[in-house]
A and B are shown apart, each in its own frame.
Chain A
Amino acid sequence: DIVMTQSPTSMSISVGDRVTMNCKASQNVGSNVDWYQQKTGQSPKLLIYKASNRYTGVPDRFTGSGSGTDFTFTISNMQAEDLAVYYCMQSNSYPFTFGSGTKLEIK
């Protein structure tokens, strides 16, 4: 199985901050990485698909980049409503695998 190593595990941030998190795949996954946001008590929500494509209706403060084994997810101007756990997922080969998540908390 492909292991998705996500970092950091958690971040304490302030509204307005730029937030960056990373996922490293244990082998080449091309551009087949998606990013999901999960707020407490809610289902995950797709933000970015195929590494850098913003899903319909997702604000442009959310961006993704990377290919191969290294991927980055950025929130350019953190809003209070962005407090959540963020997960990466590779869909290059089965079984699909998720990172362990990055939890954003208010400083």
Chain B
Amino acid sequence: QVTLKESGPGILQPSQTLSLTCTFSGFSLSTYGMGVGWIRQPSGKGLEWLANIWWDDDKYYNPSLKNRLTISKDTSNNQAFLKITNVDTADTATYYCARAYYGYPYWGQGVMVTVSS
């Protein structure tokens, strides 16, 4: 059974760094073809793809976030991470991690992040 769960700070201030963790089970990020993606959704709005990391450590980012993103993984502990530097109020959203393999067939429940002074 595949599960994913996101965790994060809940609230942070502008200019801080947002650190998100995706803890998953039921698959391994060392398996050929597997990946994890991060997607976010401001309240009441649409979905925005942020980044993917693959089993071979290939990484892809959304350039609209202008080099503020860093994705990484800890294969031994079945975790993936996303950092967003220099956050502002526009980064307030629900952040999802999802398993990447022929689309995103498995998603976490999402974690709400609020950026506020």
Interface residues, chain A, with chain B CB atoms under 8 Å away: 1, 34, 36, 38, 43-46, 49-50, 53, 55-56, 87, 89, 91, 94-101
From known contacts A94-B60, A95-B60, A95-B64, infer whether A89 and B107 are also in contact, taking CB-CB under 8 Å: no
Is the beta-carbon distance between B64 and A55 smaller than 8 angstroms?
no
From known contacts A87-B47, A89-B49, A95-B49, infer whether A1 and B64 are also in contact, taking CB-CB under 8 Å: yes
Is the beta-carbon distance between A98 and B46 smaller than 8 angstroms?
yes
Interface residues, chain B, with chain A CB atoms under 8 Å away: 37, 39, 46-49, 52, 60-64, 96, 102-105, 107-110
Majority SS of interface residues in chain A?
A: loop
Distance between Cα atoms of A50 and B109 in the complex (Å) = 24
Is the beta-carbon distance between A43 and B108 smaller than 8 angstroms?
yes
Distance between Cα atoms of A53 and B52 in the complex (Å) = 22
Chain B residues near A38: list those with CB within 8 A.
Answer: 47
Contact of A49 among B103, B107, B108 (CB under 8 A): B103
Chain B residues near A87: list those with CB within 8 A.
Answer: 46-47
Distance between Cα atoms of A85 and B96 in the complex (Å) = 17
